[in-house]
Structure 1
Amino acid sequence: MQAHKTVSRDEWLEARRALLAKEKAHLRAHDELARQRRELPWVKVDKSYVFDGPDGRETLSDLFAGRSQLIVKHFMFGPDWQEGCVGCSFGADQMEGSLIHLAHHDVMVVAVSRAPYAKIAAFHKRMGWPFKWVSSAGCDFNFDYNVSFTEEQKTKGKVFYNFEERDWMSDELPGFSVFTKDETGQIFHTYSVFARGTEDVGTVYGFLDITPKGRNEPPGGNLSHWVRHHDKYEEKAGNSCCHG
């Protein structure tokens, strides 16, 4: 390891305060980006999507499970793959603690992959994750949200990913897409994030910051307004956040 500068406690404190000022500016910029994210226009979802999962055949609307906001984790797991992507699995390992808090704060998180559900179920059981995971093998969902790509695109060597045309890299790529459902049952696509943008998503606040309602806390962000010990939430009947 390269030798590092060593200073007195007072000199360290001065340097740390200077860095703290930059960190606070970064946090304020992050909060402003989250505010602008919530102001993005929405796209009405008119197309029907049906998924195969632990509860049988379900529509996109079903995946909300009584909440008004849905986060879809685009998990890289192609039809011919024998297991899920290592990177997506690494991210999934970090999600567990967030799920129960999100489910009780009007947000469902569901993973979606193109692999047949039987393959998903086996890998899901092997990994022991609690989030719900469904297959989009019978519909265009992955293609419409630009995380799966056709043989024609592969042959051309170009795909549309992360909001731009780029060289083909893989049949499947990662991301998150966010949807909301209004009182009439109409669904809207509100946000998507891909590539390295997914690195900040995974904690409770990281997830909430990509939803249309945001953190939805009172001024000052008092956690006690809505957070409970995870064994003290009153479970909504039939709307469990977790599926084995």
Structure 2
Amino acid sequence: MQHHQLASKAEWLEARRALLKREKEFTRLRDAINAERLALPWVEVEKDYVFDTPSGRRSLAELFDGRSQLMIYHFMFGPDWEAGCPGCSFMADHFDGTLPHLNNHDVTLVAVSRAPLAKIEAYRKRMGWSFPWVSSFGSDFNSDFHVSFTKEELASGKVEYNFTQTPSEQAFDELPGMSAFSRDEQGRVFHTYSSYARGGEELLSTLMILDRAPRGRNETSTLSFVKRHDEYEEPARAHACCAA
């Protein structure tokens, strides 16, 4: 257990109020950034992308499922992988509970991976998830949105990821991200936003809770503690005083 300075209740209250001031500054900054995000210009998607889904082949426009907004999570799961990325699986653990709220808000959430649909469905069954998840295998979708890279691209020394040239040694053949799309009444689809790398951390409510826990994230590197939810060892037993 990390040791902390002890204080009187009055001293703690003074320190907490000082931190609250900073937290409020952060909230106002987040509101301002959200407004800037909504003000970004849009780009029409002119390429015809097709995905394998449990209901057959579907276009990008059809993934909206009748709604006007679509959020796509770029889930790291390559064609030759045997299981999905642990970090992306951690993210996906947060999806199912959001679906009724997102759908009611005219938003469809879909995960997309390059793994063949059969592998996706098998892994989804293992994890117990129900959110929509489709395969982009054989299409340019992942490449065009800079989340999948060929061996040649990785061997070149740099790849384009997170809107910059990233050294290949910091990249993999699959990387995570989230992209947003809008569909108008004429059926045109627009790309409105994408974020990559740590840009999606605020979507991880588990991290937001840990950030407020006494030991925080307690990690040695980003998400170093994360495993697939069926791979954790049995949690340590509570102290006797807490287990009564």
Which residue is equivalent to 1:122?
A: 122
Tell me, what secondary structure is at the counterpart of 1:199? Answer: helix
TM-score, normalised with respect to structure 2: 0.81
Which residue is equivalent to 1:170?
A: 172
Which residue is equivalent to 1:35?
A: 35
Rate the CA distance shift 1:150–1:3 in 2: closer, same or farther, 3 A: closer
Contact map agreement 1:72 1:111 (CA 8 A) in 2: yes
Which letter maps to 1:125? K
Any residues of structure 2 matched to 1:17-28 within 5 Å, and which?
17-28=17-28
Which residue is equivalent to 1:193?
A: 195
Cα deviation, 1:13-48, whole Å, max 9, x if unaligned, reads: 111111111101100000100000000111110000
Any residues of structure 2 matched to 1:173-184 within 5 Å, and which?
173-184=175-186
CA distance in 2, matches of 1:124, 1:106: 24
Tell me, what secondary structure is at the counterpart of 1:33? Answer: helix
Contact map agreement 1:115 1:136 (CA 8 A) in 2: yes
Which residue is equivalent to 2:7?
A: 7
Any residues of structure 2 matched to 1:1-244 within 5 Å, and which?
1-168=1-168, 169-202=171-204
Which letter maps to 2:59? T
Give the deviation of 1:138 after TM superposition. 2.3
CA distance in 2, matches of 1:158, 1:13: 49
Which is bigger in relative contact order (C-alpha 8 A, separation at least 6)?
A: 1
CA distance in 2, matches of 1:171, 1:165: 15
Q: Which runs of 5+ in 2 are unaligned?
A: 209-244
Give the deviation of 1:202 after TM superposition. 4.5
Which letter maps to 2:176? P
CA distance in 2, matches of 1:199, 1:107: 20
Q: Which runs of 5+ in 1 are unaligned?
A: 207-244
Which letter maps to 1:136? S
Aligned residues: 204
Give the deviation of 1:64 after TM superposition. 0.4
| Aligned sequence identity (%) | 58
Which letter maps to 1:121? E
